[in-house]
Amino acid sequence: MSAVDVGIGLLGYGTVGSSVHRLLVESGDEIERATGHRLRVVKALIRDKRKERPFPAGDGVLTGDFAELRDDPRITVVAEVMGGLDPAGGYVRELLRAGKPVVSANKQLVAREGSELFAIASEAGVQLRFEASVCAAIPVVKVLRESLVVSNVHRVLGIVNGTTNFILSRMEAGGSYADALAEAQALGYAEVYPNDDVTGADAAAKMAILATVAFGSRVGLGDVECRGITELEPAHVSAAAELGMAVKLVGIATLADGAVDVRVQPAFVDRAHALATVDGAFNAVMLQGDSIREITLEGPGAGGIETASAVVADLVSVVGTAGTGFLQNDACWRELPRLDRGAWRSPFYLHLEVADRPGVLAHVTSRLAANEISVAQLVQHLREGEATLDLILHEAHAGDVHEAAAQMATFPEVLRRPFLAPVITERPL
């Protein structure tokens, strides 16, 4: 079979963009064998032409002028691997309107502006794909949209940020938060603004996208309850180890009784649970649905070449379906209400630092009892007139648990703000 040349434009030639080019060059034969097409990067938009590139772009490929890329008649598909909302969003709009399919790795753009972008793409009769925006190398969007299209997925549970998982794995092994973050940045895992990783904003965008695709109803960033790992301390990580658990930043999307709940937060994960063994920059997503029971996908969740693999897969899908009318743009077909945030149920971990004097334990447990919360496990450590209490609470409404913790924070014998995290386990407590 003779190859058909397909011209590719790249918006961005950084960690991911240069890796897309590398894969298209180094795996060109495999792609051609599989598809009959030879994908060639003909233009890549950058800011700084003097920057050294990890993989050479080739003569005349790099440009600082978007119009040069937009107006190049050789370009059939564009990969947006630039990041940010502006100017990336404007460029994607222009390209879609001009009839160019786009694949994007930009979770903030897809989560925040997806509904408008998908509408523009459909209007123009072209595809907007976004596999690389969620969990880098793991093909979870394609699995949800194609393989599980009739499976009625009602729960998505995942570790969806590589940087924070890398930091937490390092902290568990005794490393420091700051050193681990610096290493994650050097390895190309972190966002340009790594605050997006550690505050949970990156994971929240990915969970909004996953929930939208899984449930067929738009979940915006504002719908995601989000806490990152910035308030975590080494004491929480070691308490988890003592309780036979690991601390992970977990995204949980639930469709229950026709209402949607999506949250991202540090969770105490039972060591026997599949998510507990996901280490370093790996991600994992567990999908639960009617006919599938549970499917877990695990793999590299960050990194240039890892993310490029998903971008290339989307490029191949676009090229392979061009002209067939297969658009698969907006995943939304219904509008579901949000579950009241306090109504979400889970077992919880509660960390308290209290004065070591008579009646403190009774005060704490009576507060829990007043909120209908039952204690499953309690570990106490004493040190110089103070006590650290690590409690595992039986399943309860999040609203009741948070209210009890807020009240405890006002007790004179409670010395620091209580720390709460959901517990993820499949074993009875």
Residues labelled catalytic: 206
CA distance 322 to 305: 25
Distance of CA 28 to the CA centre of its chain: 29
Q: Judged by CB, which is closer to ligand NAP: 137, or 360?
A: 137
Min CB(11)–ligand NAP separation in Å = 7
Name the residue number minimizing CB distance to ligand HSE: 163
Dihedral sign from CA coordinates of 343, 344, 345, 348 = negative
Does residue 125 sit in helix, strand or coil?
coil
Task: Tell me the window of 40-48, 167-175, 227-235, 264-272 that interacts with ligand NAP (CB under 6 A).
Answer: 40-48
Q: Are the C-beta atoms of 66 and 47 separated by less than 8 Å?
A: no
Contact pick of 15, 106, 151, 163 for ligand HSE (by CB under 6 A): 163
The DSSP secondary structure of 2-40, one letter per residue, reads PPEEEEEEEE--SHHHHHHHHHHHHTHHHHHHHHSEEEE
Min CB(18)–ligand HSE separation in Å = 16
- In the numeric block, the tokens 């004179």 are attached to 412
Give the DSSP H/E element, type plus range, for residue 318.
helix 304-321
Instruction: Spell out the residues 6+ positions from residue 308 whose beta carbon is closer than 8 angstroms to its own.
Output: 16, 19, 20, 22, 23, 132
Binding track, positions 198-237, relative to ligand HSE; x by CB under 6 A: ----x-----------------------------------
- What's the token pair of residue 414? 């409670």
What stretches of 381-425 show up as alpha helix (H) in DSSP?
398-408
Contact pick of 6, 8, 14, 69 for ligand NAP (by CB under 6 A): 14
Contact pick of 33, 51, 74, 338 for ligand NAP (by CB under 6 A): 51
What letter does residue 331 receive in the DSSP assignment? -
What letter does residue 144 receive in the DSSP assignment? I
Contact pick of 39, 103, 171, 302 for ligand NAP (by CB under 6 A): 302
CA distance 152 to 179: 42
Asked if 192 interacts with ligand NAP (CB under 6 A), we say yes
CA distance 315 to 307: 13
Query: Residue 43 binds what, of ligand NAP, ligand HSE, none (CB under 5 to 8 Å, by partner type)?
Result: none
CA distance 341 to 354: 28
Residues in region 263-302 near ligand HSE by CB under 6 A: 301-302
Min CB(114)–ligand HSE separation in Å = 16
Q: Are the C-beta atoms of 229 and 167 separated by less than 8 Å?
A: yes
Contact pick of 76, 161, 307, 317 for ligand NAP (by CB under 6 A): 307
Task: Tell me the window of 74-82, 87-95, 188-196, 267-275 that interacts with ligand HSE (CB under 6 A).
Answer: 188-196
Asked if 177 interacts with ligand HSE (CB under 6 A), we say no
Min CB(97)–ligand HSE separation in Å = 27
Contact pick of 39, 57, 69, 81 for ligand NAP (by CB under 6 A): 81
Residues at the interface with ligand HSE (CB under 6 A): 136, 161-163, 189-191, 197, 202, 301-302
The binding site for ligand NAP (CB under 6 A) comprises 12-17, 45-48, 51, 81-83, 87, 105-107, 132, 136, 188-189, 191-192, 302-304, 307
